[in-house]
Amino acid sequence: MMLDVQGLRTGYGRIPILNDVSFAVAEGEFIGILGHNGMGKTTLLKALMGFLPATGGRVHFGGEDVTALEPYRRARLGLGYVPQGREIFPALTVYDNLRMGCAKQVGAEDDVIETVLQEFPRLKPLLDRLGGALSGGEQQLLAIARCLCGKPRLVLLDEPTEGIQPSIIEEIVDTLQRLRDSSGLTMILVEQNLDFIAAMSQRILIIQKGKITREVQPGNLGDPSLVGEFIGITT
């Protein structure tokens, strides 16, 4: 297993958010995580990245126990993170944002960026613009491209469709599917957009009150009663 999470607990201060989360992700898998607002989806990704301390349980990544590692060490081991809200460096140019993605120095900077940009043609004319001047959709593409510059083995992707225009959502789906098929990327996707998560994921984990309560297949997301019960979205 590439990622193995056993009984993970965490929270903000003394307020517990995750209690006893367990799941595993195999190499090359695309996993979706679905749940109501406030059920701990983003918290789970933050805990996996090391931004929130684990108060219980274990996280193994690539066979190594990373439970107590700092975020930058996890990043260097091959965890990639595309956070909610994208977190583009606003006063750096698009190109410098991508250079920041190369901070781990996995290869010659220019070559890495050149290769990644082939998957993101929309970014090419924007390289000299400031990150903060981009539209939400462009920033989302940039956040994904920046993450890929670090050649991650596992990408944590938090609500990439939030507030993004539909044309770019399609572009993101296409790009990610291409990467999944061509480069053997592994991904954990947190989403509320059912079409998007169904298009991307091979399995979908339902998170409720800080626990993984169920696993469903993407095809079953068409079932209104299931969706209503576990996700709280009535169709």
**Binding of residue 96 to another protein (CB under 8 A):** yes
Structure tokens at 182: 């061509």
Q: State which of residues 9, 89, 122, 173 lies at the interface with another protein (CB under 8 A).
A: 89
**Binding of residue 130 to another protein (CB under 8 A):** yes
Q: Which stretch binds another protein (CB under 8 A): 88-96, 169-177, 185-193, 207-215?
A: 88-96
Angle at 43 between CA 167 and CA 15, to 5 degrees: 145
CA–CA separation, 44 vs 129, rounded Å?
A: 33
E-assigned strand segments in 26-106? 30-34, 56-61, 64-65, 79-82
Nearer to another protein, 2 or 92 (CB): 92
Which residues within the stretch 159-178 sit at the binding site for another protein (CB under 8 A)? none
**Binding of residue 99 to another protein (CB under 8 A):** yes
Burial of residue 164 (CB within 10 Å: 0-12, 13-18, 19+) is: buried
CA–CA separation, 16 vs 59, rounded Å?
A: 17
**Site track for another protein across 134-163, x = CB under 8 A:** ------------xx--x-------------
Q: Which stretch binds another protein (CB under 8 A): 14-22, 95-103, 192-200, 222-230?
A: 95-103
Q: State which of residues 1, 2, 100, 173 lies at the interface with another protein (CB under 8 A).
A: 100
Burial of residue 63 (CB within 10 Å: 0-12, 13-18, 19+) is: exposed
Give me the phi and psi of 50, to 5 degrees please.
100, 5
**Binding of residue 87 to another protein (CB under 8 A):** yes
Structure tokens at 235: 């169709």
Nearer to another protein, 18 or 98 (CB): 98
Check: CB of residue 33 under 8 Å from CB of residue 41: yes
Q: Which stretch binds another protein (CB under 8 A): 4-12, 13-21, 100-108, 206-214?
A: 100-108
Q: State which of residues 18, 39, 75, 200 lies at the interface with another protein (CB under 8 A).
A: 75
Q: Which residues pair with 16 in a beta bridge?
A: 11
Direct distance between the N- and C-terminal alpha carbons of the chain, in angstroms, rounded to an integer: 35
**Binding of residue 71 to another protein (CB under 8 A):** yes
**Binding of residue 184 to another protein (CB under 8 A):** no
The single-letter DSSP state of residue 217 is -
Q: State which of residues 9, 58, 60, 76 lies at the interface with another protein (CB under 8 A).
A: 76
The single-letter DSSP state of residue 218 is G
**Binding of residue 91 to another protein (CB under 8 A):** yes
**For binding to another protein (CB under 8 A), which residues are involved?**
49, 51, 70-72, 75-76, 80-81, 83, 87, 89-92, 96, 99-101, 103-104, 130, 146-147, 150
